[in-house]
Every structure is written in C-alpha cells, then in structure tokens.
Structure 1
Amino acid sequence: MSKIKWSNLWKGFAMGTTDLVPGVSGGTIALLLGIYDDFIRSVSGIFSKRFWESLKFLLPIGVGMVIAIGLLSKVINYLLSAHTVPTMFFFVGLIAGIIPYLLKTSHFKHTFNVMHYSLLITGIIIIVVITLLNNGDKHAGESLSHSTGLILKYFIAGACASSAMLLPGISGSFMLLVFGVYGTVMYAISEFVSLNFAAIPILVTVGCGVLFGFLLSSKLIQYLLSYHTYLTYALIIGFVIGSLYAVFPGLPDTMMTWIISIITLILGFGISYRLGKITSD
C-alpha cells in the first residue's frame, strides 16, 4: 500500500498560492510540476472505488493549498481594499498573459474552424453577461452579509470556481471574480484566520459549492480534455478573453495611480506569460 507523499505539500502550496490570484491557474502549476494528470485522476477517483489511493495523493496537496490560502488571504484582502485599481490591473495582466499559452497549446491556427470560433465567442458572451448580471460588482469585499440570494450566488460561484481549478489556463479565483464574490471570499478567509467566526456561513457555502463542483465536473473535464480537446480549449480561451472585461476596474484617476497600474499590468502579464512559456516548452 502506497504511503502519503508529504513531499507534495509544497506543490499544493504553490497551487493554492496561484489559485488565490485570478489569471494564474492552479491547473497550469500542476502541469508545470508534473502532477496534473495524477491530480485530475485523483479528484475524479475520490468519488469511486479508488477513494483511499486518491485521498492519499490529494491530502498533502490539499493541506498545502489551505496553508497558502490562510497565509496569503490577508495580503490580497489588503491590496484589494487599499490599492484596488493597481491590484486589478495586475490581475488583468495575469489573465492577458495566459492567452498566448492557451493559443499555443490549442494549435489554433491548424485546429480551429467555424465551430471552435463559435465556441470561443460563446465563451466571451457568457462571461460578459454574467458580469453584467452582477452589475459590475467585480471586487466586492469588507462585508460578511448573507441572504438567501447571496448564499445561492456563493454556492454557484464556488462550484464554477472548483471546475475552473481543474482546467489548465483558468483559475478558480478568476471565476469568483467574474461572479463578483472574490473580494468577499478573500475578506471572509482573512477574517476567519483572525478568529472572526461570522465568516463561517460564507466559507461553508462556498466550500460546499467547491465540493459539488469537483463532484460534478471532474469526470466531465477529464472526458472533454481527452476526447474534445480543442473544442474545450476554444471555450476556455473565450472565457479568459471575456474575463478581461469582467476584471477591468476602469481607468486610474491620478497620474501616480496610472504609473503604478501600468507597472502592475506589465508585471502580471510577464509572470503568467513566462509560466505559460515554461509549461508549453
């Protein structure tokens, strides 16, 4: 019987760190670290007869992700609250920088036809419509309020986020941002770390959504990437392009904010572009 590989703890930490940030996918990092196939197989296997083997593989990765989220949520919450526009420009750069990787991986010049471009456009429209339905609320935070409508929204956002986490090139936090709950979830995590238990209802709801998303999508994503690879990538690329609209915070209002925002935009683009290049080489 195989033992738990606690050496994968740092890989989980790396995945958790990137999944906190919209634009850099934990799936991409898993691909870069050489555990993507095992990760997808284990997530799918956790709901099958391979439960124990899958759990032993996922446990250190999950612990590493939880540690990363607990340690870094306060930093991200502070940046979103005190430096909203430059932080959002950093996210725009991260998301834009992963597009070349997705285009290269999909071999779009040779594989895309009318069907693929139709799916790509559909992906863009879906994200833009979701953003408009959220009334442009892209980075709400500093609130732990919850109602029946908000609870449903948090659950759906969590389910979509976990589905996105399984895909290379699209991060879970990206979907939270699209649904307008990213700032709220980051704030709830940072408050929970500070022992404010009023954050529990939000975190439990999002967590249940995440588990439901894993249960619903792990086998489907494995199937789509195996048998409809390029159609799946076309839809992902559409999601990512559409998310640029979802994330864009508006133009800076001072010269200093302009300068900082341009720097963070370039920095974000450079980080994700480089990660994508390493992964695809």
Structure 2
Amino acid sequence: MTSSPASKRQRTSSTTFPPPYELLYWPTIPGRGEHIRLCFEATGTPYTDTCNDDQKTGLNALRTLISPTNKGSPTNPPPLAPPILRHGSLLLSQTPNILLYLGPKLGLAGADDDPNAIYHINQLALTALDGLSNEAHDTHHPIAIGAYYEEQKEEAKRKAADYISKRLPKFFGYFNRVLQGEASKGGEWLYGGQLTYADLVLWQCVDGVNFAFPRAVGRMRERGEFGEVFGLYERVRARENVAAYLESGRRLGYGMGIYRHYPELDAEEAEAEA
C-alpha cells in the first residue's frame, strides 16, 4: 500500500498524538515555506503541512489567521502573512524568525558550546534570503507586486539583466568566500564544520535561482566559478533525508511563486550586459 504524501510528511507511528509542529503556508508552491520544510525533512522531524494536507481546511485556517479582523491573542500578535509556524500555543511568522526558533530545537544551530553560533548562522541565512530570494523575486515584479508580470515586462528585463550580471555573482561570490574562510571549519558547510539551517536556506536559494535562470547559472558552472557553493549544493542534495524528500510527492514544483522561469529574463550574457 502506497502512503499518501501527508502520511509520509507526518512520519509518525502514533495516531494519537499529531506532530508537534504545524506549518501553514500557501498550497502547491514551495515559496518561503520551503526553507522550513527543508529543516523538518533534513532532520526527520514530524510536522504537519496543513494547507497541502487538506487544502480547503488548511486555507480556511490560514486565512483566519491573516485576516484583517484578527487582532491576535494575549500571547500572540496576529501574523501578517505566511509562513506561519504553530508549536503548541505559540504562533510565529516570518521565515527567518521561524528558522531562528527551530534551529536550536532541530540541531541546526551549530555546536552547543558556541554561544554565538546562532547569530552567525542567522546572518548567513538572512544574506541568502536577501540576495537570492527577495531580489530574485523582484526580477519579475520590479514595479508592483500586485501587478501582473505582463504589465512590467520591459522593466523586468532591465532588472533581470542587472541581477544576472551583477547581483547573482556578488552573492554567489560572497558564499564562496564564506566556505573558504576559517569559520567554515573545513569548507564543507557554511559555519562550524556542520550542517546548519543556513546551508539549507542557501541550498533552496541556489535551487530556486537555477530554476529561474538556468542559462545564467549554467554559465557560472561551465566556467568553474563558485565551486564551493555548487559543492555545498550537491552535498545537501545527496543527504539521505533530503534526497528522499526531493524524490517524494512532498516536494512541490516551482511555478508562479518566488522563482519563475521566463526565458526572456534568462538572457545571454551579451544581452544582460547591454
């Protein structure tokens, strides 16, 4: 008998106690919730992905939480937007904030004897999200998030050309340098010689920009640039739990979310520099 995606995701032998962590994010797209899913999946932590497990019920719950009429509770201010993490009576939103909370609990926040590890790891995750997620999104919506891509195509071409020629190599170069630095402790992972949530965030960002700009990223690989970053990408993908997740129905395909592939934005280098 084949397990459903939801039962695989929850990965618990108990039918009495649900997974302690609940993720609420828009269904059918990876989006900003994917960084949180990867932390659960990489560590084998049971969780409920409410909107993907039961779209109608999940969306109702999510929309209630982000409704303009929701003023929160005595201990939880209302979230503005997903992703939202529910852990017991605690509600948290904002991807970096959720990762900051989950990292120590899931063993993804560095060595226990390094009191500053969490701050360095958070710094690295925030940098990846800034340059390889937020800026990547803005290439196809440079003028207004609420307007269709087709209403801002010319501006998007200019934004994407600048992103490909200047911003993408800037951030890849930064993380390449981090992996070459002493704080990496060997160059296998970004910080402290062990997998942290910053590595998972960077992996998802690299995977996303590769989907959005396969020609641009392919050119960097062909030139042998940023080998440390691409090496980390392959190491994360090869980890047993991550590989199993990527082959499962739980891994959602890219579409109309943060990372979108428009061939006209993935220009050849000569066009990007024009």
TM-score, normalised on structure 2?
0.29
Higher strand share: 2
Q: Which has the larger radius of gyration?
A: 2
Higher helix share: 1
